[in-house]
Amino acid sequence: MKVGHNPMGLFEYNASKELIVRLKHDADLIQSITELAKNKGVEAGSFTAIGALKRAKLGYYDQKNHEYREMKIDSPHEMASCVGNVSLKDEEPFTHVHVVLADEMGNTKAGHLFEGIVFAAEVHLHQLEGPKLERKYDEVTGLSLWGI
């Protein structure tokens, strides 16, 4: 599908392989999933993960100024929810992740994940087969979004 010919922003895929992975202790969650995608040839996919992180960096996108604000989390948290997708950016698999992290009182912090150092993590990645899903710079938002 050519960029600029998909006004609905709809891409259709068929389900392919299901990958279940236990991530390594002390690894970065995003890098680990990106490596997995590269090794397994996943160019489009979605995933969920649960587990715990030792520390993390979250982002909040300032929609007015078009920049991420960073929030450092320097203590262990449960990864109560983690969802993401894999698509292509500059021809390479790119992993986009959002998380909800819970502290010992169950209080949560959530947002875009920049860095997440794994204590333990179980990932379920769904590989999708279909058209190329590529991120391109979007002037309206200032983000790299799926080209339509």
From 86, 82, 74, select the one nearest 42 (Cα to Cα). Answer: 86
Number of residues that bind Zn ion (CB under 5 A): 1
Q: Report in angstroms how near the CB of residue 96 gets to Zn ion at its nearest.
A: 6
Biggest CA pair distance of the chain:
49
From 25, 26, 32, select the one nearest 97 (Cα to Cα). Answer: 32
Instruction: Kindly tell me which of 55 and 112 has the beta carbon lying closer to Zn ion.
Output: 112
Taking contact as CB under 5 A, which single stretch among the options 17-25, 35-43, 107-115, 133-141 is the one that binds Zn ion? 107-115
Using left for φ > 0, alpha for ψ between -120 and 50, and beta otherwise, residue 126 falls in beta
How wide is the angle at C-alpha 34 spanned by C-alphas 131 and 115, nearest 5°? 130
When CB distances to Zn ion are compared, the closest residue is 112
> Rounded distance, CA 111 to CA 80, Å?
12
Interface residue with Zn ion, options 40, 54, 89, 112 (CB under 5 A): 112
Taking contact as CB under 5 A, which single stretch among the options 5-13, 50-58, 105-113, 134-142 is the one that binds Zn ion? 105-113
Q: Report in angstroms how near the CB of residue 92 gets to Zn ion at its nearest.
A: 18
135 makes contact with Zn ion (CB under 5 A)? no
Instruction: Give the residues lining the site for Zn ion (CB under 5 A).
Output: 112
